[in-house]
Structure 1
Amino acid sequence: MSTWETFQKKVSKLAETALPTKRKLSGFEVWLVNIAAALFSGFYVYSSGFGMAAPEVHRGVYFGMTMILGFMLYRFRSTSPTTRISKADYVLIALTIGCVGYFMYEYPKMAYRAGAYTQADVIVGIIATILALELTRRVLGNILPVLAILALIYVYFGPYMPEFLLHKGFSITRISGYLFSTLDGLLGVVVNTYATYVIMFIIFGSFMEKSGVGKFLIDLPYSLAGRLVGGPAKVSVVASALFGSVSGSAVANTVATGAFTIPLMKKSGYEPHIAGAIEPAASTGGQFLPPVMGAGAFIMAEITGVSYLTIVKLAVIPALIYFFSVFVMVHFEAKKHNLKGLSKEELPDPLQTLKSGWYLALPLFVLIAFLVKGYSPNMCAFWAIISCIAVSWVKKETRMGPQEIYDALSQAGKSSLIVGAAAGTVGIIISGVTLTGLGFSFSDMILSLSSESLPFTIVLAGIAAFILGCGVPVTASYVILAVLAAPALIELQFPLVGAHLALHWYSQLSNVTPPVCLCAYAAAAIANSDPFKTGIHSLKFSIFLVLMPFLFAYTPILLDPRWTFLETLQSVIFVCLGAITFGAFLQGYYYDHNKIADYLLLAIATFCLLIFNLPANFIGTILAVIVWFWQKKRAVPMAE
């Protein structure tokens, strides 16, 4: 066994420390959970390939199975049993089956009577709402359920609210009926998007891992660039981009690639908190990089009515710029501390890696080809999954038989809970906004606070995203921002897709921004570093999360039809140069360590390069060159 293979085997176990705490079941209950998770995943693989069920069944199965698996795997409180499912949880599972069964059976009648809710509708709706809130609390914590409860209170007590929040109020019957008896409440757009698209890409990620595709996407970049200055960190960026572009989850990407990249970075000389910070910054970028872009992109397509392929086309250039900015930061970090790459013996041979595993990249090409052909994302994921199985059969050691397929389906079903647990609760919040018209009031309030200034409105949206990110998952954060803040941005002539992409980028701040930064926490567990310190540095490496919404508003990097190709090319070139100068500014190192004058000139250069103004861009470029030569002369004095 090679040094590289031995190393991989040892560090892969570290990933478990970053996963959410679950029950460790045994015996019959392990089988019960695994078979339920596999059937859950298998249902959506089948429906994506051979035709979806009726809407109430399609959404009901996702909503119900997510809650059933959640109650099986996550405890009510710290004193609950850890090795078995409690009796109380079996009761909750039975209630879930009853509620979802009632919804799927009665929905055609409920749709027919449209608003004339029966007593059974109301009672079952109340139970389903409580179950959804409880599942979210167990899996994701208290903040999101509290927000949902506040939304319900606001809906009920509307007549007693302050003037700018005043509305007529709604009865418990109307609230419960709307939440449960329609396709706009608990089982609304979020559940539909997760069931239609998101779970398929989670399943695809699981099949990538089992088939050896995921391993190839990590091995190849390391074999090619691991020996460069700061090589492990640079390749971490590339590997996280490749893996994250199809995994659909920043946390999953952090854990999957970080188990290998973080120990290698530490070994090459990076401090633990720096190694832990680079991986979340790179993994978060996977949420923007096509072809998958994370759950938020699918919801964006649903909300805006713009095709997913169009969103992908608009998002690709900003995503590449983001990864370039992280790469630049990593480079200056390595130069500042004179960090070398890994030795040849510690890395796989690039030619051998490519020769022996080139075919493992075929599932990615299948996915992209089907997207370009105009197939729905879930159908694209279906054929990508089939291709994973096909390429796995090339070699005996990666061959996926019935057991491996079952394991991949089961793992995907369980992994989906981190995303799916929020779906019903976010539906409650959206329902509160829809019923009361809060979106328009909130939008007016933002416009008033910002004096209808687009830059200030973008800042306010960023602050709202930061606050939401302290307790709300990234997708839920985007959905809330989309219904509350997007109208204000659009009112100020921010293009529709640009406004939603800006909010999608802002929603990812919670991955890397203390005090709650899930990706940074996961990476810190692997790096054995301080989570808060890791989060602070992770935010520094991913600083373009903050800047990109402004670039969407004021530069042509989105390939918007309003701009010509040459204008877009100009903007991309100078923004990339701005990423270099900004990285040098933040890292305190360009060709040499920065001095006060260097910081000042680099700051001015960055500003000039990031704005869309050709004379300013040239000034910024000249300043960047001057500082570089100045530092070079200072670092290497001319011989007398």
Structure 2
Amino acid sequence: MDDDKEKVKYLTEEEQQKLLEKYDPEAGTRKLKGMLGYIAFIGLLAFSLFQLYTAIFGVFTAQIQRTIHLGFALSLIFLLFPANRKKRQKGKFQIAWYDIVLAVLSIGVGAYWPLFFEDLVMNVGRLGTLDFTVGLLAILLVLEATRRAVGIPITTIAVLFILYGLFGQYMPGFLSHRGLTFERMVQTMFFSTEGILGTPLAISSTFIFLFLLFGSFLIRTGVGQYFNDLSTAIAGRRVGGPAKVAIFSSALQGTISGSSVANVVTSGAFTIPMMKNLGYKKEFAGAVEASASTGGQLMPPIMGAAAFLMVEFIGNGITYWDIAKAATIPAILYFTGIWIMTHFEAKRLGLRGLTKEEMPSKREVIGKVYLLIPIVAIILLLMSNITVTHAALYSILISIVVGFINKDVRMKFMDIIYALVDGARTALAVAAATASAGIIVGIVTKTGLGLKLANGLIDLAGGYLIPTLMLTMVAALVLGMGSPTTANYVITSTIAAPAIILLGVPDLSAHLFVFYFGIIADITPPVALAAFAAAGVSGGDPLKTGIQSSKLAIAAFIIPYIFVLSPQMLMIDSTWMEVVWVVFTAMTGMIAIGAGVIGYWVRGMHWIERITAIIIGLLLIYPETITDIIGLTSFAILLALQYFKKQGNKNLPTILDNGHNIERID
């Protein structure tokens, strides 16, 4: 069948961890032992208990809540994340004396607001020498912690914004501003709620932490493996089954995962070897998993925790449920697009589904459907009038009950403790990223850069919407490279979204537009972290995997334009009939585009047919009555031509070659 075909070889947990550490900075933590190991363990546990306490009994004053959250995160990052991740000794990272010093300084920074709250409030705007020193130290610690736990890209962006804030008077044209003094910079960054202690960290210290904790408890219930089994039971027997299992499983994993790379490695360790064994090329197998796993960040209800930030950034009375509801149809279309293309690729290659022997027991899969109760519960709770905080708390309790019911894992007291520790560990990088994102937001607010860039983009696009969208797309793709979901959204929504909003686009459409392209940066070369991680699992070429991923995720490059031009897709001020029609035409268009990209529909397609199919798909996706009519008519004609040509080939007599029958291949 293919040179890539080989016996299925699943990655061990150790191999998965190595891949995560290579491509996901959040996974590269030290394995501390002895006294420091106990200190880190207790610190992580205390972090979770603090967050649970404030969730149950109410949060403290903004500055106190956020600095304690920040102090926990920074000190633990310096203990757990090495300055140089490449240096190892005997399987664990070596801790340096300066890491301990930085951890202690971080505790001091975290305690400063709680200890001197009244004095700081009374002296607002006036910084003493100690205040200035602590504030400057906080900025430096945040930048270094972000570099260690999140990566260089977002740290570099934050540093550039600080430099812009300080030396803006030397910038050319519309970018010029008066420039901030060092004192004003420090005051904004740490002694106001417009910088490090701004909205991003506020969301991290409340909603995001609890949902990451929920994900940690959910994993302890055994739901991760169940996602794979359920996906295999539903899609495994279909044409090219393992690829469809990967799509379905990644969509489910995305409901709880906050990382594209983690999704790729955990789900891909199961699905990619199966795809290779079936006959998919290494790069295609990796691309299916990478594009599907990245799409998991677009899947409600969690959406990489960005949905909670979106509520605060958009305002205007919008609720979390409004965002989750609006994101549902685009997410379905995204996964449908990948599903369609993998189906056509499987048909083109003549790939089978899994055999009955390779399938899990349906009785066992159905018998464990109760593992989905926490996910269903959190969706229902978020739909109700209950607060997001209480929805997360109740869902955590439900997860514990479900974990106790599942006889395969049977959650015990220490499992609860480990879940609390793992949840806090997951939150460290998010806290650092949101703190750095706060620096960026603070500079944008103080200098008016957001509006300046928005006007600059519009002027460059000649004041037209489509060119502005294209320029904004490029900006979001560049800004989103190498950044985690939450920081990614903060950056793109602050810098890129205002340009679209100025042209009259609804706020929600504009924010989802930049959110989509920021996320797709994970599979867009040259960075493409999710694609590179998938290539690490498949053994394929990373760059080719990234290119294939971008092709499979073509829906993500088209769908945002649809919901900007036609907000009905987001169920904004629309009837159900309008929503159904937009979804129908968009889905039909995705079939045509998928066939054109892969080169197979009912039969193999000539290059002219492929180009025609893509044009038809774009006509159907564009929300206009005339384009829908032309697109549907052309779709029917091309489908009929494909069908009749295939039937004609079937009726042709077989060709004899040296007395042997040779079947006609479409």
TM-score by length of 1: 0.94
Q: CA deviation at 1:11?
A: 4.4
Pair 1:58 & 2:65 matched: yes
- Shift, 1:191, TM fit: 1.0
- Cα distance change of structure 1 residues 89 and 380 upon mapping to structure 2, 3 Å threshold: same
* 1:199 pairs with one of 193, 209, 217: 209
Residue type of the partner of 1:246? I
Asked if structure 1 preserves the Cα contact closer than 8 Å seen for 2:476 and 2:496, the reply is: no
Equivalent residue number for residue 427 of structure 1: 438
Distance 1:418 1:411 in 2: 12
Report SS of the residue matched to 2:94. Answer: coil
Which residues in structure 2 correspond to 1:193-342 (within 5 Å)? Answer: 193-305=203-315, 306-342=318-354
Alignment partner, residue 492 of structure 1: 503
> Which residue does 1:418 correspond to in 2?
429
The one-letter code matched in structure 1 to 2:175 is L
Residue number in structure 2 paired with 1:383: 394
Q: Superposition pairs for residues 74-89 of structure 1, below 5 Å?
A: 74-77=81-84, 78-79=86-87, 82-89=92-99
Q: Does 1:589 align with 2:600?
A: yes
Contact preservation (8 Å) 1:258, 1:526: yes
The CA distance in 1 between the partners of 2:156 and 2:65, in whole Å, is 28
In the aligned structure 1, how far is the partner of 2:12 from the partner of 2:620?
A: 41
Contact 2:11–2:269 (Cα < 8 Å) also in 1: no
**AA in 2 matched with 1:470:** M
Give how far 1:23 is off: 2.6
Deviation at 1:88, TM superposition (A): 0.7
Cα deviation, 1:136-182, whole Å, max 9, x if unaligned, reads 11223323222222212221223332231222222111111111111
Check the 8 A contact 2:88/2:94 in 1, yes or no. no
Q: Is the 8 A contact 1:17 1:526 kept in 2?
A: no
Partner of 1:104: 114
User: 2:17 aligned with 1:16, yes or no?
Assistant: yes
| Worse overlay, 67-76 or 321-330 | 67-76
> Partner amino acid for 1:19?
L
Alpha-carbon distance between aligned partners in 1 of 2:383 and 2:201, rounded to the nearest angstrom: 26
- Greater shift, 245-254 or 333-342, is seen at 245-254
Letter in 1 for 2:355: S
Structure 1 residues 534 and 31: alpha-carbon distance in aligned structure 2, compared to 1, 3 A threshold = farther
% identical aligned pairs: 36
**1:121-136 maps to which residues of 2 (within 5 A)?**
121-136=131-146
Please tell me whether the aligned partners of residues 259 and 484 of structure 2 are also in contact (alpha carbons under 8 angstroms). no
> Residue 5 of structure 2 corresponds to which residue in structure 1?
none
1:62 to partner: Cα distance: 2.2
Match of 1:43 among 41, 47, 50: 50
8 A Cα contact 2:87 2:93, kept in partner: no
Once the two structures are TM-superposed, the CA of residue 421 in structure 1 deviates from its matched residue by: 2.6
Mean Cα displacement is larger for which, 549-558 or 484-493? 549-558
Distance 1:147 1:604 in 2: 38
- 1:102 deviates by 0.9
The one-letter code matched in structure 2 to 1:297 is A
Alignment partners' CA distance in 2, 1:528 and 1:425: 35
| Corresponding position: 1:568 with 2:590 | no
- Structure 2: give runs of 5+ residues left out of the alignment: 1-7, 22-27, 653-666
Q: In the TM superposition, what is the alpha-carbon distance from 1:560 to its structure 2 partner?
A: 4.2
Whole-Å Cα distance in 2 between the matches of residues 402 and 225 of structure 1? Answer: 36
Shift of 1:10: 5.8
Output the CA distance in 2 between the equivalents of 1:565 and 1:167.
48
Residues 71, 53 of structure 1: CA spacing in aligned structure 2 closer, same or farther, 3 A cutoff?
same
Change (3 A) 1:487 1:403: same
Does residue 161 of the first structure (1) align with residue 171 of the second (2)?
Answer: yes
Q: Could you tell me which of 170, 187, 199 is aligned with 1:177?
A: 187
Please report the RMSD computed on the Cα atoms of aligned residues, expressed in angstroms. Answer: 2.0
Corresponding residue for residue 3 of structure 1: none
Written as runs of structure 1 = structure 2, the 5 A alignment for 1:577-616 is 577-616=588-627
Deviations 1:512-558 (A, max 9, x none): 11111121122222222222221111111111221122101212443
Q: 1:332 to 1:629 in 2, by over 3 A?
A: same
Distance in 1 of aligned mates of 2:450 and 2:612: 43
Counterparts of 1:102 and 1:577 in 2: how far apart (Å)? 58
In structure 2, C-alpha distance between the alignment counterparts of 1:612 and 1:484, rounded to whole Å: 27
1:79 is displaced (CA, Å) by 4.9
Report the AA paired with residue 18 of structure 1.
Answer: L
Structure 1 residues 2-13: aligned runs within 5 Å: 11-13=12-14
**Does structure 2 conserve the Cα–Cα contact (< 8 Å) formed by 1:608 and 1:619?**
yes
One-letter amino acid of the structure 2 residue matched with residue 324 of structure 1:
T
Instruction: State how far apart, in whole Å, the 1-side matches of 2:626 and 2:171 are.
Output: 52
